[in-house]
Amino acid sequence: MLGMLGMSFYILADTFFISKAVGADGITALNLVLPLYNLIFAIGAMIGVGSAIRYVVDRGRNEKAAGGYFFHAIAWALIISSVFVLAGAFIPDKIIALLGGDETIVNTGKNYTRIFMMFAPFFMCNYICNAFVRNDGNPSIAMAATLFSSLFNVVFDYVLMFPLGLSMSGAALATALSPIIGVLICCIHFKSEKCSISFKPVGLSIKKLIYSCQVGVSAFVGEISSGVITVAFNMIILGLAGNIGVAAYGVVANISLVAVALFNGIAQGSQPLVSECYGKGRMKDVRYVVGLAFKTALVLAVLIIAAIYIWSDPIASIFNSEKNPELAAYAREGIRLYFIGFLFAGINIVGTSALSAVEAVRWAFTASIMRGFVAILIFAFALSAVFGMTGVWLAFPAAELVTMLLSLTGISKSIWAKCR
């Protein structure tokens, strides 16, 4: 959990430092390109988490195929990430414009986008290394990798943006270099005697990639859903409130990443235990771990919502260096309404992770698609048409509530029913 929290703080650090150095235009540019981050992370998550789960389950069953998953995942990540490298190198301005940026925003965010997209291979490989280290029984190293790479990002955000005066480019460079730190720390486990991961080269297989990604799809949707939500909300808000509205949504969305990181921490912390118990046929232990994760998520959600209601104004003001009253008003309402959704989102994040861990692929996929695409898009467009900006903020809680009903049905049939 601490590792995931650290990762969310470096995104908040980007938002904070950019708000100080560039202002609302910088936050708008950052929020428009965040879906690209989500897409890169999502692909790395699907390959990494999916391959790591297959590795743990096959190892528990003493299958020889378990040895080739790590090399296979890294190789495919390098191939797929080359698309992002080329796009970042040659068309970053066109990408920002496609995501809704006007000429001012394109000029503000062009170099930022170019830099971080060209480092896509490191982001994906870092995610894969972290997933394998965590599933190979060394969560402390995985957590340290995330924490120290995040700390590096925050420190060098400041150094590159202010003393060296690199502005948005400095923020991008600090973020782009941070996954290299994560990979280097993961190498501590790879070189240790505890490591059981095989690094032997194996032939690349699309069939094996799909087989791995099947159980990694909930991780993919968990990451990409933020990007889909951001794109949809940006387009809606540009029509309702312009660039200031998008900047306000950027503040709300980036603060919410802290909460998402906490719930992802619970999900990723429990997932290796669930996978191991499932692989050994200990379904009562699976039920116990999942139940404990649900209780933890619910208590955490109540604490987060209470904190947001008490400190919404001072939290929003941190990212409003220009003291814009319109930005402050939008952000205050947005934070309070949007965060209600975490009462249900925590259950969904933990639930889809557990469903993937027990190879309930259909349930995990359906719940993930509902949460990340179908429900949120329907509610975003429907509620915003009726209630304007208030409807935008309420779309997230409504979508998470509907998805929770589906997630709990899947858990009941795939886990609870097998423990009777």
Note if the pTM is more than 0.75: yes
Angle CA 135–155–36, to nearest 5: 60
pLDDT of the residue at 143: 86
Profile the chain (420 residues) by mean pLDDT over runs of 10 residues. 62 85 89 90 92 85 76 95 97 94 93 96 95 89 90 92 92 93 95 86 88 83 77 91 91 86 85 84 86 94 94 89 88 95 94 86 86 89 96 95 94 78
pLDDT of the residue at 279: 80
pLDDT of the residue at 147: 86
pLDDT of the residue at 222: 67
pLDDT of the residue at 420: 59
The full 3-state SS of the chain, as one line of letters, equals: CHHHHHHHHHHHHHHHHHHHHCCHHHHHHHHHHHHHHHHHHHHHHHHHHHHHHHHHHHHHCCCHHHHHHHHHHHHHHHHHHHHHHHHHHHCHHHHHHHCCCCHHHHHHHHHHHHHHHHCHHHHHHHHHHHHHHHHCCCHHHHHHHHHHHHHHHHHHHHHHHCCCCCHHHHHHHHHHHHHHHHHHHHHHHHCCCCCCCCCCCCCCCHHHHHHHHHHHHHHHHHHHHHHHHHHHHHHHHHHHHHHHHHHHHHHHHHHHHHHHHHHHHHHHHHHHHHHHHHHCCCHHHHHHHHHHHHHHHHHHHHHHHHHHHHHHHHHHHHCCCCCCHHHHHHHHHHHHHHHHHHHHHHHHHHHHHHHHHCCCHHHHHHHHHHHHHHHHHHHHHHHHHHHCHHHHHHHHHHHHHHHHHHHHHHHHHHCHHHHC
pLDDT of the residue at 65: 65
pLDDT of the residue at 108: 93
Dist CA 420 CA 418 (whole Å): 6
pLDDT of the residue at 212: 87
